[in-house]
Chain A
Amino acid sequence: MFKKILIFSSALLLIAIMWGCGKGKTSITLAGSTAFQPFAEKLADQYMMTNNNVVVTVQGGGSAVGIQSANSGAAQIGMADLVTLPKEAKNLTATVVAKDGVAIVVNPLNKVTDLSTDQVRDIFNGKITNWKEIGGIDAPITVVSREAGSGTRSSFEQIVTGINLKKDALIQDSNGTIRETVANDANSIGYVSHGLLNEKIKALKIDDQECTVENIVSGKYKLVRPIFLLVKGSLEGETKNFIDYILSDEGQKTIKAEGLLPAK
């Protein structure tokens, strides 16, 4: 009797699970860059409103995961925010859907307002260790960076070049926690995606160029990286439709409204 109940209920559960999965909808999974993740979620929501037959799922994991899962087929679309794509991505069709500036940020209490690229390099390498060396108060600089493998970090290091991060730099594992750390520590310096700037932190001018939308679009501001969507093989079917939607005026408008920069 007890056994029968057990078998019956597990069978029921199994049916329920299969029922839930097989409604005949096309499913697209995006995975990768945490910098683009919130934008992808927004775009997915909008896309699903007009396309009832498609389910778009967005996962994070980082740019490396984006490339890896597009290659392995775990996700139809991989998201990556790198200046140059690594060789693992050579079999993938890459589409630039947006651009993102990397802002060098300090605490709003900090008097320093602009740095040269060389100074940024020296700070992150540990050659400049006190704010007074670059026109600030007499206080040690706390460098905050991202963990190895982060797309924001590799973009930052590729653009600034010659970075060999000093050993005692603090490491935070997301754009958001870097922002919190810099907002809490008056002597710290870090870098975040332009889309995450807010009043709690101050973006520095780099080589006399402010980190603004205009300067990033015009190419005056140097620290800019493209955001790639990666697809295995050629673009087709629902995957192509979704990427086309992101590149459409409506999709690009959403990207812009949420703080990223349009691809074109």
Chain B
Amino acid sequence: MKLIGEKGVKRILMLTAFSAISALLLIALFILNEGLPFIFKYGVKDFLFSSDWNPHLGKYGIYPMIVASLWVTFGALVIGAPLGVAGAFFLTEYVPKSIMRIIKPTIELLAAIPSVVYGFIGVMVLAPLIRNNFGGPGLSLLAASIILGIMILPTVISISIDSIMAVPQSYREGSLALGATTWQTIHMVTVKASKSGIIASIILGMGRAIGETMAVIMVAGNSVNIPHSPLDSVRTLTANIALEMSYATGLHRQALFATGVILFIGIIILNSIASVALRKRVVKK
């Protein structure tokens, strides 16, 4: 029975496809509309590079939070990227395919754990560990980096695995036939052939780390402070918005939207780099 016909299906699908794009556009417009006027009124330089954040005194400098976001993300990558990429190589090159098919979905399950649960574990287990062994308040840059490092693992691992698997089998066979060991094949052939995909996986993980909010609020301590050591408490851009949104009115509220604009721009840049890196790989094949 023909219900709607070819054209009808096409229209319905087009409508659903556009709903996602228009949602993105609306969000972008809304944030820019609320945030940009503030940035220009307050001054781009003062907003981005002043470290005085004191909403009730009318001071809105987000420099400490930009620095904190960068450090937390960097820390997450230092922990998550090597683990993730090494794990991906192990799973594709050393482990039989049948076992990998079980392990990979299990790792991807990590992504399904709500971030508040990660945060909870961070507060209850990680922060006391750091406080008792290294000093400081425990809720710190280090705690946030470790938690985020674990949270980006599924992204890094599964995209790395996909790109390593996309390396033609003939490359590996050629290398092995020349007498190279599995490890030599990995670091001289497979890594090079799947490089752009691995970089893309790390960048996407980075996007996740920058954007994460709940877990970071719970473990980072949230002081507006340029960190001098990994044990210092920090507040990221996302945490700043979420923490103060509920109380903010007037200029303060606009300043939070402006924080969102900066975050949005940063993430767009990262995602563009990632998609360029991914496209390169496709072209090469």
**When the two chains form their complex, are residues A171 and B55 in contact, meaning their CB atoms are under 8 A apart?**
no
In the complex, whether B137 has a CB less than 8 A from a CB of chain A is yes
**When the two chains form their complex, are residues B223 and A167 in contact, meaning their CB atoms are under 8 A apart?**
yes
Residue of B128, B138, B232 ringed by the most chain A CB atoms within 10 A:
B138
Q: Which residues does chain A contribute within 8 Å of B3, judged by CB atoms?
A: 1-2
Residue of B128, B137, B247 ringed by the most chain A CB atoms within 10 A:
B247
Q: Which residues does chain A contribute within 8 Å of B249, judged by CB atoms?
A: 64, 68, 88
Distance (Å) between the CB of B126 and the closest chain A CB? Answer: 11
B4, B139, B244, B246: which contacts A2 (Cβ < 8 A)?
B4
**Chain B stretch 113-159: residues in CB contact (< 8 A) with chain A:** 123-124, 127-128, 131, 135, 137-139
**Chain A stretch 143-173: residues in CB contact (< 8 A) with chain B:** 147-150, 154, 167-173
Q: Which residues does chain A contribute within 8 Å of B211, judged by CB atoms?
A: none
Of A117-125, A180-188, A233-241, the one contacting chain B is: A180-188
**When the two chains form their complex, are residues B222 and A172 in contact, meaning their CB atoms are under 8 A apart?**
yes
Give Cα A177 to B214, complex, Å: 13
**Chain A stretch 42-99: residues in CB contact (< 8 A) with chain B:** 60-65, 68, 88
Q: A148-B55, A185-B137 are in contact. Are A171 and B222 (CB under 8 A)?
A: yes
**When the two chains form their complex, are residues B225 and A168 in contact, meaning their CB atoms are under 8 A apart?**
yes
Distance (Å) between the CB of A168 and the closest chain B CB? Answer: 5
A3, A68, A168, A184: which contacts B232 (Cβ < 8 A)?
A168
Q: Which residues does chain B contribute within 8 Å of A180, judged by CB atoms?
A: 123
Q: Secondary structure at chain A's binding surface: helix, strand, loop or mixed?
A: mixed
For A86, give the chain B residue with the smallest CB separation. B249
B233, B244, B246: which contacts A170 (Cβ < 8 A)?
B233
For A167, give the chain B residue with the smallest CB separation. B225
Q: Which residues does chain A contribute within 8 Å of B221, judged by CB atoms?
A: 170-171
In the complex, whether A142 has a CB less than 8 A from a CB of chain B is yes
Give Cα A88 to B252, complex, Å: 15
Give Cα A49 to B177, complex, Å: 82
Distance (Å) between the CB of B201 and the closest chain A CB? Answer: 33
A140, A148, A184: which contacts B244 (Cβ < 8 A)?
A148
Residue of A147, A170, A177, A185 ringed by the most chain B CB atoms within 10 A:
A147
Give Cα A73 to B128, complex, Å: 45
In the complex, whether B217 has a CB less than 8 A from a CB of chain A is yes
**When the two chains form their complex, are residues B222 and A149 in contact, meaning their CB atoms are under 8 A apart?**
no
Q: A167-B225, A170-B221, A171-B221 are in contact. Are A62 and B247 (CB under 8 A)?
A: yes
**When the two chains form their complex, are residues A147 and B223 in contact, meaning their CB atoms are under 8 A apart?**
no
Chain B residues with a Cβ closer than 8 Å to the other chain, count: 32
Give Cα A168 to B223, complex, Å: 5
Q: Which residues does chain A contribute within 8 Å of B252, judged by CB atoms?
A: 148-149
Interface code B212-228, partner A: CB below 8 Å = 1, 0 otherwise? 00000110011111000
B128, B232, B235, B247: which contacts A171 (Cβ < 8 A)?
B235
In the complex, whether B189 has a CB less than 8 A from a CB of chain A is no
Distance (Å) between the CB of B130 and the closest chain A CB? Answer: 11
Q: Which residues does chain A contribute within 8 Å of B243, judged by CB atoms?
A: 147, 171, 173
**When the two chains form their complex, are residues A184 and B128 in contact, meaning their CB atoms are under 8 A apart?**
yes
Q: Which residues does chain A contribute within 8 Å of B247, judged by CB atoms?
A: 61-65, 147-150
Give Cα A149 to B252, complex, Å: 10
Residue of B56, B123, B222 ringed by the most chain A CB atoms within 10 A:
B222
In the complex, whether B166 has a CB less than 8 A from a CB of chain A is no
Q: Which residues does chain B contribute within 8 Å of A142, judged by CB atoms?
A: 137
Q: Which residues does chain A contribute within 8 Å of B222, judged by CB atoms?
A: 147, 170-173
For B235, give the chain A residue with the smallest CB separation. A171
Distance (Å) between the CB of B98 and the closest chain A CB? Answer: 44
Give Cα A65 to B242, complex, Å: 15
In the complex, whether B248 has a CB less than 8 A from a CB of chain A is yes
**Chain B stretch 241-280: residues in CB contact (< 8 A) with chain A:** 242-244, 246-249, 252
In the complex, whether B54 has a CB less than 8 A from a CB of chain A is yes
Q: Which residues does chain B contribute within 8 Å of A184, judged by CB atoms?
A: 123-124, 127-128, 138
Kindly list the 5 A-B residue pairs having the minimum CB-CB distance in the complex, ordered from nearest.
Answer: A149-B247, A171-B222, A62-B247, A170-B221, A2-B3
**Interface, chain B (partner A; CB < 8 A):** 3-4, 54-56, 123-124, 127-128, 131, 135, 137-139, 217-218, 221-225, 232-233, 235, 242-244, 246-249, 252
**Interface, chain A (partner B; CB < 8 A):** 1-3, 60-65, 68, 88, 140, 142, 147-150, 154, 167-173, 177, 180-181, 184-185, 188
- 18 A-B pairs, CB-CB below 8 angstroms? A1-B3, A2-B4, A61-B246, A63-B247, A64-B248, A64-B249, A147-B243, A148-B247, A149-B244, A167-B224, A168-B225, A171-B222, A172-B222, A173-B222, A181-B139, A184-B123, A184-B124, A184-B127
Inter-chain pairs besides A170-B221, A171-B223, 9 sampled, C-beta below 8 Å: A61-B247, A68-B249, A142-B137, A147-B222, A170-B139, A177-B218, A184-B123, A184-B127, A184-B128
